[in-house]
Amino acid sequence: MAAALQVVAVLAGAPLVMGGMRQVRARLEGRAGGGIGQPYRDLRKLLRKQQITPQGTTVVFALAPAVAAGSTLLIAAIVPLIALGSPLDSAADLFGVVGLLFLGTVALTLAALDTGTAFGGMGSSREITIAALVEPTILLAVFALSIPAHSANLAAIVSAAMQNPGQVFSPGSVLAFVALVIVTLAETGRLPVDNPSTHLEVTMIHPAMVLEYAGPKLAVVEWASGMRLTVLLALLANLFLPWGVAATDPSALGVLLGLAAITVKVAVLASVLAAGEVFIAKLRLFRVPELLAGSFLLALLAVTASSFLATTTQ
């Protein structure tokens, strides 16, 4: 039940997260903003539009939005957001989650190549460059997190962090947190890696890939990218601050508490992220590998620090 609720909450909450982040940014920049509900209205508008398929595109183009949205929803179902012990617990491995994330990225990249336009190719080449640099960092950070829990299972990591709250402030986990924040920004296409609100040809990465989509398909792509951001923020919050996550076989009250806790955590994280974005500019594309190499190094330090802390406790 909790897993189904998680999927529904991510589906319904993703536009809210996007709208909230845009609103925080708009207010801090001195604009009125479109309101928190604006993404819902955008999605409704897009869903009502006529379906247009560019000439010469194949089934890859038609399926990619569904694959991207589906893989994100599957992640939402298996990660412990509201309660531990989802039905897919045996598959709830951090490495599996990373693979699913990458599946969505690859689907959109292939779709962009399928259109055969210049922008599509450019966007997908950039996206894959960044993804290739992000992957080793995520894997290392995951490795660092799984050392104290002695398992890469997400539920095991979260419950280990719940039993031992002080471990969150150990050097290894702080470094892993910073590294994971940087790769989350890169993976979801936020500043300083990509600017989500621009359509300027020379700088865009994600918007360049989905340029050929229109109508309901564009709605699904936008929705999927919102859900991706929501799920990753929620996962980040729960890996490091697992307060309020209900136990296996939770009561209705536990589920409600878990839902409230994760809503508050995501809202706070998203607002902080949006407020931080006001103060930074997008990095030049050639400087992005520098940032990602830095996060890789932080993840490596996290692994070394937590492995030698683990020997201390023995």
Partner 1 sequence: MTEATYTGALDLAAGAFLLTAVLIVWRRELSAIVRLLAWQGAALAVLPIIEGIYQREPAPIVVGVVVLLLRAVVLPILLARAVGTEDQERRESTPLVNTTASLLITAGLTVLAYAVTQPIIALDRSPTTRALPAVFAVILIAVFVMVSRRRALSQAVGFLMLDNSITATAFLITAGVPLIVELGASLDVLFAVFVLGLLTSHMRVAFGGTDLDQLRELRD
Residues forming the site for partner 1 (CB under 8 A): 166, 170-171, 174-175, 289-290, 293-294, 296-298, 300-301, 304-305, 308-309, 311-312
Closer residue to partner 1 in complex, CB, 98/288 = 288
Shortest CB 166 distance to partner 1, Å: 8
Q: Which of 41, 22, 71, 61 is nearest to 211 (CA)?
A: 61
Fill in the DSSP letter of residue 34: S
One-letter identity of residue 314:
Q
Q: What are phi and psi of 88, to 5 degrees?
A: -100, 30
Closer residue to partner 1 in complex, CB, 51/312 = 312
Q: Are residues 94 and 155 in contact, defined by beta-carbon separation less than 8 angstroms?
A: no
Give the three-class secondary structure for 95: helix
Closer residue to partner 1 in complex, CB, 130/208 = 130
Q: CA-to-CA distance for 60 and 138, rounded, in angstroms?
A: 27
Shortest CB 129 distance to partner 1, Å: 13
Shortest CB 292 distance to partner 1, Å: 8
Shortest CB 204 distance to partner 1, Å: 23
Q: CA-to-CA distance for 216 and 12, rounded, in angstroms?
A: 17
Shortest CB 313 distance to partner 1, Å: 9
Paired strand residues for 83: 246
Closer residue to partner 1 in complex, CB, 151/170 = 170
Closer residue to partner 1 in complex, CB, 95/308 = 308
Closer residue to partner 1 in complex, CB, 68/298 = 298
- What is the sign, positive or negative, of the torsion defined by CA atoms of 262, 267, 268, 272? positive
Q: CA-to-CA distance for 31 and 25, rounded, in angstroms?
A: 8
Q: What are phi and psi of 240, to 5 degrees?
A: -105, -30
Shortest CB 158 distance to partner 1, Å: 22
- What are the E-state strand segments in 71-121? none
242-278 core/surface letters (b: 16 or more CB in 10 A; e: else):
bebbbeeebeeebbebbbebbbebbbebbbebbeebe
Q: Which of 301, 296, 300, 306 is nearest to 146 (CA)?
A: 306
Shortest CB 175 distance to partner 1, Å: 7
Closer residue to partner 1 in complex, CB, 252/281 = 281
